[in-house]
A = this chain, B = another copy of it.
């Protein structure tokens, strides 16, 4: 099943290749000392805490047999992981029983980095594998006064990651209606009320959802016929039945 041992491992191993261009050379060292707070806004402090600068991380070595769950959808986020051997998949089961795989993670790769308090994706062993879990709670707080900005920028990266993952899951094997419903709900949630003013053209929407402009237009018209939305004008959408739209998505 699963055995474990604490191991002192140097987490970095020259993998930190992040380097957004430095004309100043120092940049890579200075710009990224970012503490981490997976959604500090919504989480209790005891689970968070920034990164201890400098300390080598103690990771817990875990072994999983093929097919076993490493963590499940909904589990509290306590760690992120690195694959030492084998392959891991991160995936989501949709309400209609379909499975969407977010990614495969092979030796040396990191998985389990998610924003928010709990895992939206499950992780499972594709093959027998060994992973190292790095607990967030084991990391010392990074709370110097300068830490705030770093924390913030790290939070930005995590938020971008969350959005990107959601986008990928939206694009995989969902119908045009599901994609468009999700899109409209997304924009409705950014504003207040049931009115959505779309800033973009049908072509933009199509290119975002991986559809053609004609399909977007037809689906929008169908939603209107089905009284899910009203379309006072092509860019102005009124949600008439948000719950039915939500049902399409889930």
Chain A positions within 8 Å of B, measured between CB atoms, are 11-12, 15-24, 26-37, 39-44, 46-47, 49-57, 76-78, 80, 86-87, 89, 91, 98-104, 106, 110-111, 113-118, 126-127, 136-137, 139-161, 163-165, 167-168, 171-173, 189-192, 199-200, 204, 207-211
Task: Name the residue on B nearest A45 (C-beta).
Answer: B41
Task: Name the residue on B nearest A173 (C-beta).
Answer: B210
Which of A47, A86, A148, A208: most chain B CB closer than 10 A? Answer: A148
Which of B18, B111, B204 interacts with A158 by CB under 8 Å? B18
| A55-B146 in contact given A42-B46, A167-B103, A208-B104 (Cβ < 8 Å) | yes
Which of B12, B19, B127, B157 interacts with A157 by CB under 8 Å? B157
Which of B36, B127, B154, B165 interacts with A32 by CB under 8 Å? B154
| A150-B51 in contact given A89-B200, A101-B204, A155-B16 (Cβ < 8 Å) | yes
The answer to whether A100 touches B207 (Cβ under 8 A) is yes
Distance in Å: Cβ of A65 to nearest Cβ of chain B: 14
The answer to whether B155 touches A15 (Cβ under 8 A) is yes
- A164 proximity list for chain B (CB < 8 A): 102-103, 161, 164-165, 168
Task: Name the residue on B nearest A145 (C-beta).
Answer: B54
The answer to whether A200 touches B57 (Cβ under 8 A) is no
Question: Could you jot down 18 A-B contacts, CB within 8 Å?
Answer: A20-B77, A27-B139, A31-B139, A32-B142, A32-B147, A32-B154, A33-B146, A36-B153, A41-B51, A44-B190, A52-B151, A53-B146, A57-B149, A91-B207, A103-B163, A110-B160, A126-B199, A172-B207
Q: A77 vs B31: C-alpha distance in the bound complex, in angstroms? A: 13
Number of this chain's copies in the assembly equals: 2
Which of B42, B56, B204 interacts with A50 by CB under 8 Å? B42
- A44 proximity list for chain B (CB < 8 A): 189-190
Distance in Å: Cβ of A203 to nearest Cβ of chain B: 8
The 4 closest A-B pairs by CB, nearest first: A41-B50, A53-B146, A12-B152, A172-B210
Task: Name the residue on B nearest A152 (C-beta).
Answer: B12
